[in-house]
Structure 1
Amino acid sequence: MNRSMQLIVLGTFWCFIHGAYCIPFNNEISAISVVGSYPGSNSFVINSTTVYIVSYSTYASIYPTRLTSITTGARMAFPIRVVVRQQKGVSSWQLPLRVNSKLGPLSFYTTSRTLCHTHMDIIANLNRSSIDFLSQLNHTRLLQEFSISVSTSSLRPLDIEIATQEAKDFYIKENQEYTVVTSPSEPIYYYYKFFERNSDNYRDTVVLEVNSEDQTCFYVSIQEPNCPIYDLESEIHNGKFYQTVNTRGGLTVGNFEFPNGFFVVFVAKGDNYDCSIENSLTKERGRLKTFNQTSKVNFKVRPSISIEDYIKAALIILGAILIFYIVLVAILCTFYQINKINRKSSLSPDVATVYLENFQSPMMRSLEIVSKGLTKGSFKPQRVRERERMQRGIILKIVQLN
């Protein structure tokens, strides 16, 4: 055996001992085509000389496909490449999936992705106000077809499992609470469709309420119902709106911005720094190559107040203020009249004396003297009554003379 052959044998032996991160010595690659099970799972063993192409039969479904890929033997130096080919696009990722964080790169050996529905443009233009939104979709032949290829540069055989299923909870409705578990390698998204303007259930805006009981920081994003979907942490910033959430968050979404509905995307972050929380558990796990930073999220879409409701509320408030002022003015006028009557009724009973003091003619002064003289004398009740009658008679004569 010559020296070059000895080096090849020794190099191959070293590769198998230390993880098989070696480039093949030849360029011969065999492609193996298999038919995938849908829904179901398929397992393969691949290396640098073998590429598996998994084809799925054409099927009709209103739901998109949820694809999960799992490996235990791949390493970051020579990962497994997963490529999904659909009618209107191609998506790809690698196993283990690398996620950057403040504490260093993290590796995830399980990924789950929701494939964009081939006919999402048709679904987005369907009428929500039909008797049943989903039953309308059932009468539309929404054919889907896709294939998956898996390959690696590792000389050592690596295992991989591909599982597919329908995303049955893809379409969300108002006032229903949903629960989802997400991680940096397992993003998930849902679709919401607005009601039409001629519907009794129409609202200009809806509110997305999000809450989580754990301390894991995650993204929630609102995106147009188009392919591709930006669901990984490294690309979610390309969406229209996004927000980092730790325990509670919310977004208001308007129909004028998303007339065909919108996607709600959830994906956990590799660390908690963007949520201003330094979780000690994350720091400890961050030193490892792999861990599961998952977040259990509860969310709900509820109708917001429409413009008509705002106008009604404003009119009610203005009407209440107007009624308050009317009642206030009526009360003030009533009290004014009562005080005026009380002032008139509080005059002195010696009216003759008060009246005579306002006139300065000799006749008046003489009459005043007579009136004062009448007030003197006995205080017996009979005399008092006679005196009051005489005073009133004198006043009437004075009024007639004037």
Structure 2
Amino acid sequence: MPLPPMECAVNLSEEQILEDISGVRPDDCIFTDFTENDWCTIVENENADMDSESNKSTKFKVNSETMLAFEYLNKCQMMSWKLQEEKCHAELKICHKHSLSMNFFHLPAQHLLWLMFCALKLFRWNLADDIQWQYGKLYSGAVASRGSNQDVIRISVQSSDARLQWPLLVVVRDTKTILSWQVPLALENKFQYNIVSRTLCPDVDAVEDLPAVDRWLYVELSTNSPHLLNFTVLATRTENFQLQINRPINLTASPPQPQFLFFKFPEDVDRVVIRVNSDDDSECMVVSIQPAQCPAFDLDTNVKFLGDYQTMTKKAAVTLHKTSMSQVHVVFVVKANPYECNYMSTLVPADPVSDVNQSKSFQVLVEKVMSNDDYLLVIGSTLAVYAVIYIVVFLFWLVFYCRDELRFRHIRKDLLVAFEEEEATSGIGENYGAINSLESDPLIQNRVRTREHSSSVEEEEEHSLEKVVVRTKVSLMVADLARKPYKQNDRKYSIYPWNLLTIAIFYILPVVQLVLTYQSEVIQTGDQDLCFYNFECARPLWGIFAFNSVFSNVGYVLLGLLFLILVWMRDAENQRQLNRNEAFYTHYGIPQHYGLFYAMGMALALEGILSGCYHVCPNFANFQFDTAFMYMIAALSMLKIYQIRHPDINADSHVAYAVMAMFIFLAVIGVVYNGLPFWIVFSIFYAILIFTLSAEFYYKGQWRIERGAAIRIFKEFFSCNKTCSWYCPSYPDRMIFLLFGNVLNIAFIIVGIIKQFRDFPLYLVVIFISNLLLYLLFYIAMKMRHKEHLNYRAILLSGLSCISWGFSLLFFLQEQSSWRFTAAQSRELNNRCIFLGFYDAHDIWHFLSAISLFLSFVVLLVIDDDLVYTTHNEIPVF
């Protein structure tokens, strides 16, 4: 349609100007300062259709004749005229694709240019291709108030001439928003960008059914530059500003051009997860979830001031609950320097640059996650599974117990009668491990006959000599290493669980305090980079960000308690048998001491508690909490295997826990000061420990480090008068085992020095588990070598344990996060939940490893049930 005549100040006479400004209000005016060298752009062929190709713009110079009008207006410091609504509508038809542009205006020094235009979404007709901006023109229009989230304007300002010393200052004002920045934009005091784009914060409280109103947008540009500055201003309407559930939005952002979106919870949704994915891992971006208020903090300098935030390269995910924030702004700010994400810095350009090489494309998706009722259903189902495990275990125990009673009742009676007859004739005393062949030894008999007439010192010497004679036998039997009274040894091992409980109390209480402090800091600061969760499957509940990762450790606790119940039942049965005939039951089968089993069950339950504490806020500083009782479990298991056939010479609890404490201390040092000096010190310590334990195992405690021992060993080793027997070990079985064990541990030392693993606690866990596995295989192999066949219960449980461990390791190797990397790089490992929409692969590892440990413990509990009615002097030591 043809347009009404266009007006420009340079076309008007003085009388027309006076007539026009008579009804002008101050709010309608824009001030500018013109000189004769300024240019004004008007439209030729005013009556032509503005959509036609014949419409052209031209420039002509302000002359002295028209200066009168400007001088008159300068007296009131105004230049404006009121355009009628229909004229504004017609002029805006020449906009191009919902956008306004102003190209390369010259801004003189110390002069101020005001531009005012309306939000473009608001007009309800077809818009044409382009518009040429004019000095001092006022653009207005009616705002269609259909919800401010549909009427979002984005302003871009670019200037290749501006410099940091003489910047171009930009102020943008809207109904409820004011933004300001400068071009070039300086980030981190080093990076300068000659283009800046900002999104104007919409009125989130606007009511959709209100009638249309005028909405004004003001852009103010100023500079103190002594030179003319070329610049471009571009205003565009933001499409898809509001996030919807299951509707992805693709965006592109850069350091000087941040983006943000709006999300409001639907009425029927309580919890959602906002996922951000990108194929580009070179640029570092901050994803911030802020309350929907204006202004939005969308610059690198302030994006962390409000709400929760994460850094990301390829993945980010934030779970929101309606009770915390019902409507939010999701802000995306690309870092000028990606060091925060990958520890790699970008070269700083000498002059201001555009952001072409630092743009990051990504997709945003909002998904609904399970409600509180769903949480309770999953938690109840998990506990129900463990209840079924309890029932199955008790039923199997009842079946096996009744079967054994029926099977061995007559055997037990016959053996008891034979033992009472033998006891009456041989007069077996308190030392349940003494053997007749030893008493027939002339040297020992002579010592025993003179015991009553010897001093206390001589008695100690006799006792030591007797131990040497017994323990240096080539073929040792359990009777040789079970000579102390049963109750004495039982008291010794019963201290293990009580000491462990004391240690746990003093260890766990500070741990709980520390992790709760971490969690509180995350909540207060909003910095979700402090904790290395699997954010793709983080299910918050009761103030815990990843409740699923914490709750999945319940298996350790429940199965640890179940193992304690099984140990207690066997211990009670053993005490009942001892009360019947202590002498009989202390001479048959493996000596039954349950103190270490109690300690193992407690360690399993405590591992669950500490692993849960670690997963409250997993990071490198508290990973030792997750691994401390792993060392305990492995060490206690090795001690138990050793104690089975070495009840007299096993380590005291205070010694064992002291060694474990040293490893925990080394784990702390390895996390904080992980470097070559530390690895050298650790290697020396570990080599000495390996040598000490090897000598203890080989000589069964009959060796001492004395003055000059090293010189004697050196002389013996390099002496020339060696016979063939010198090269043959006295105990070949032990030597073979120690050979494999020492090669394995020396390999660990060498690899550790070369690699210098940052994850030192996990390195120690691998060492402990490898040694435990090697020792268990040695124990089973020696049972087979001595024709001690495993009972069917041990075989069945061993098979189930191996299968469970296989699946456990399969899930363990699927890393879901890692504090060995930056928080952003760790999120690249994040994956969605794989079970019940609640548990991820690491949670499944918790469940399966708890079951695997329980089965392994039960294997040790029943591994020698085939020897229950074999005398001590028929059970070999290995």
Query: TM-score of the superposition, structure 2-length normalised?
Result: 0.30
Q: Equivalent residue for 1:51? A: 112
Q: Distance in 2 between matches of 1:250 and 1:31?
A: 52
Matched, 1:295 2:360: yes
8 Å Cα contact 1:33-1:53 kept in structure 2: no
Q: Distance in 2 between matches of 1:274 and 1:307?
A: 35
For residue 220 of structure 1, the aligned residue among 287, 311, 314 is: 287
Q: Deviations over 1:328-357 (max 9, x none)?
A: 6667778899999999xxxxxxxxxxxxxx
C-alpha deviation, 1:254, in angstroms: 2.1
Is the radius of gyration larger for structure 1 or structure 2?
A: 1
Q: Distance in 1 between matches of 2:405 and 2:212?
A: 85
Counterparts in 2 of 1:68 and 1:304: CA distance versus 1, 3 Å: same
Matched, 1:77 2:165: yes
Q: Equivalent residue for 2:102? A: 42
Q: Distance in 2 between matches of 1:234 and 1:334?
A: 69
Q: Deviations over 1:12-49 (max 9, x none)?
A: xxxxxxxxxxxxxxxx9x88779986632123221125
Gaps of 5+ in 1: 1-27, 124-136, 344-402
Q: Equivalent residue for 2:702? A: none
C-alpha deviation, 1:277, in angstroms: 2.6
Q: Distance in 2 between matches of 1:106 and 1:31?
A: 39
8 Å Cα contact 1:214-1:296 kept in structure 2: no
Q: Distance in 1 between matches of 2:180 and 2:80?
A: 18
Counterparts in 2 of 1:177 and 1:254: CA distance versus 1, 3 Å: same
Query: TM-score of the superposition, structure 1-length normalised?
Result: 0.63
CA-atom RMSD in angstroms:
3.2
Counterparts in 2 of 1:54 and 1:330: CA distance versus 1, 3 Å: same
| Deviation larger for 184-193 or 154-163 | 154-163
Q: Equivalent residue for 2:343? A: 277
8 Å Cα contact 1:97-1:108 kept in structure 2: yes
Which secondary structure state, in structure 2, belongs to the residue aligned with residue 219 of structure 1?
strand
Q: Distance in 1 between matches of 2:163 and 2:241?
A: 33
8 Å Cα contact 2:283-2:338 kept in structure 1: yes
Q: Distance in 2 between matches of 1:248 and 1:237?
A: 18
Q: Distance in 2 between matches of 1:179 and 1:316?
A: 39
Q: Equivalent residue for 1:159? A: 230
Q: Equivalent residue for 1:232? A: 299
Q: Distance in 1 between matches of 2:170 and 2:79?
A: 15
Q: Deviations over 1:95-119 (max 9, x none)?
A: 1212225xxx2221111110011x2
Matched, 1:115 2:215: no
8 Å Cα contact 1:32-1:51 kept in structure 2: no
Which secondary structure state, in structure 2, belongs to the residue aligned with residue 169 of structure 1?
coil
Counterparts in 2 of 1:340 and 1:215: CA distance versus 1, 3 Å: same
Counterparts in 2 of 1:217 and 1:154: CA distance versus 1, 3 Å: same
8 Å Cα contact 1:31-1:50 kept in structure 2: no
For residue 96 of structure 1, the aligned residue among 180, 184, 208 is: 184
Alignment of 1:2-401 (within 5 A): 39-43=99-103, 44-56=105-117, 57-58=140-141, 59-60=143-144, 62-100=150-188, 105-117=190-202, 119-122=203-206, 137=208, 139-141=209-211, 143=213, 144-196=215-267, 199=268, 202-259=269-326, 261-279=327-345, 282-283=346-347, 285-292=348-355, 293-323=358-388, 325=390
Counterparts in 2 of 1:33 and 1:84: CA distance versus 1, 3 Å: farther
Which secondary structure state, in structure 1, belongs to the residue aligned with residue 161 of structure 2?
coil
Q: Distance in 2 between matches of 1:150 and 1:209?
A: 35
8 Å Cα contact 2:263-2:328 kept in structure 1: yes
Q: Distance in 2 between matches of 1:41 and 1:32?
A: 22
Query: Counting helix residues as a fraction of each chain, which structure ranks higher?
Result: 2
- How many matched pairs? 291
8 Å Cα contact 1:213-1:296 kept in structure 2: yes
Query: Counting strand residues as a fraction of each chain, which structure ranks higher?
Result: 1
Which secondary structure state, in structure 2, belongs to the residue aligned with residue 222 of structure 1?
strand
8 Å Cα contact 1:47-1:157 kept in structure 2: yes
Residue type at the aligned position of 1:294? S
C-alpha deviation, 1:249, in angstroms: 2.5
Gaps of 5+ in 2: 1-73, 82-87, 118-139, 409-878
Q: Distance in 1 between matches of 2:225 and 2:274?
A: 48
Counterparts in 2 of 1:184 and 1:209: CA distance versus 1, 3 Å: closer
C-alpha deviation, 1:140, in angstroms: 4.6
Larger RCO (CA under 8 A, 6+ residues apart) = 1
Q: Distance in 1 between matches of 2:230 and 2:206?
A: 38
Which secondary structure state, in structure 2, belongs to the residue aligned with residue 238 of structure 1?
coil
Residue type at the aligned position of 2:204? M
Q: Distance in 2 between matches of 1:322 and 1:237?
A: 46
Q: Distance in 2 between matches of 1:312 and 1:189?
A: 36
Q: Distance in 2 between matches of 1:72 and 1:180?
A: 25
Q: Deviations over 1:284-319 (max 9, x none)?
A: x54454242222223322222221111111222333
8 Å Cα contact 2:163-2:352 kept in structure 1: no
Which secondary structure state, in structure 1, belongs to the residue aligned with residue 181 of structure 2?
strand
Residue type at the aligned position of 1:60? A
C-alpha deviation, 1:212, in angstroms: 4.5
Counterparts in 2 of 1:317 and 1:341: CA distance versus 1, 3 Å: same
Q: Distance in 2 between matches of 1:253 and 1:142?
A: 34
Which secondary structure state, in structure 2, belongs to the residue aligned with residue 249 of structure 1?
strand
Residue type at the aligned position of 2:198? R
Counterparts in 2 of 1:113 and 1:164: CA distance versus 1, 3 Å: same
Counterparts in 2 of 1:321 and 1:142: CA distance versus 1, 3 Å: farther
C-alpha deviation, 1:178, in angstroms: 2.6
Q: Distance in 1 between matches of 2:403 and 2:375?
A: 42
Q: Deviations over 1:135-181 (max 9, x none)?
A: xx4x4557532111212222322222211121111101123333221
Q: Deviations over 1:171-198 (max 9, x none)?
A: 01123333221112101100111122xx
Counterparts in 2 of 1:324 and 1:235: CA distance versus 1, 3 Å: closer
Q: Distance in 2 between matches of 1:160 and 1:332?
A: 84
Q: Equivalent residue for 1:375? A: none
Q: Distance in 2 between matches of 1:187 and 1:228?
A: 14
Residue type at the aligned position of 2:114? I
Residue type at the aligned position of 1:114? T
| Deviation larger for 212-221 or 181-190 | 212-221
Which secondary structure state, in structure 2, belongs to the residue aligned with residue 174 of structure 1?
coil
% identical equivalent positions: 25
8 Å Cα contact 2:271-2:319 kept in structure 1: no
8 Å Cα contact 1:31-1:51 kept in structure 2: no
Q: Distance in 1 between matches of 2:212 and 2:168?
A: 31
C-alpha deviation, 1:82, in angstroms: 1.3
